[in-house]
Amino acid sequence: MQVTVKEIQAWLDDFARAITDNKDYLSKLDTPIGDGDHGNNMNRGLTEYLHAFETKQPTTISDTFKVLSMALISKVGGASGPLYGSAFMKLTKVTKDSTEITSTTQMAQLVEAGLAGIQARGKAIPGDKTMVDVWSAVVEDLKNNNFSKERIEMAKEQTKELQARKGRASYLGERAIGHIDPGAASSALLFQTLLPYLN
């Protein structure tokens, strides 16, 4: 595996496109258990990323994550903005001296750092029906060489059976059961778009 700044930027471009393509789907997931804005929130953030990218033209992995982090923090109104923003800010820090990522072990460490950023900010643990469920599953799967489209999908689908303990969906109690968590779904898109770059 050889993931340089070129692949990281291509990945985030693909993610931005996936968010735009799935904007309505993500907001629809957020309707029964939230306020119906997750797709619009994320799309606003990723559109700002593409715009800021053109202006700032980051040339390192670390700076690329920084542009994304700032875009998400500044443009996403909802809870997901600062949470994703914290993840990518952590990635900015841990990739400070990286010019390439060469193993799944290294990629697992990066995702784990991002997860720590989300958890430091939002205090959710796995099983709380949030984006943390997908991020933590991806960390484990990368560590065990088990990272695949099916596993990502499974982690996302598993949020359906859970009652939410964090975020807006937690106000619904048992009524949140039966619905996929929107942040888990957008995180699934993040990692599905990463997949092709890990060969």
Identify the three-state secondary structure at position 147.
coil
33-72 residues in contact with Mg ion (CB under 5 A) are: 34-35, 37-38
Q: Tokens for 88, please give them.
A: 């990518």
Q: Decide if residue 38 touches ligand ADP (CB under 6 A).
A: yes
Stretch that binds ligand ADP, among 6-14, 15-23, 28-36, 55-63 (CB under 6 A): 28-36
Rounded to a whole number of angstroms, the minimum distance from the CB of residue 84 to ligand ADP is 9
Least distance to ligand ADP, CB of residue 28, Å: 12
- 101/152 with CB nearer ligand ADP: 152
Cα-Cα end-to-end distance for the chain: 5
Q: How many CB atoms lie within 10 A of CB 70?
A: 19
Backbone torsion region of residue 178, taken as left when φ is above 0, otherwise alpha when ψ lies between -120 and 50, otherwise beta? left
CB burial string 82-92: b at 16+ within 10 A, e below: bbbbbbbbbbb
Q: Residues 175-194: x/- map of binding to ligand ADP (CB under 6 A)?
A: ------xxxx----------
Task: Collect all residues with Cβ–Cβ distance below 8 Å to 118 and sequence separation of at least 6.
Answer: 83, 84, 86, 87, 124, 131, 132, 135
Q: Which is nearer to Mg ion, 30 or 112 (CB)?
A: 30
Q: What number of other Cβ atoms are within 10 A of residue 102's Cβ?
A: 12
Site for Mg ion in 77-106 (CB under 5 A): 78
Window 42 to 81, contacts with ligand ADP (CB under 6 A)? 78-80
Residue nearest to Mg ion (CB): 34
Binding stretches for ligand ADP (CB under 6 A): 30, 34-35, 37-38, 41, 78-80, 83, 118, 122-124, 130-132, 166-168, 181-184
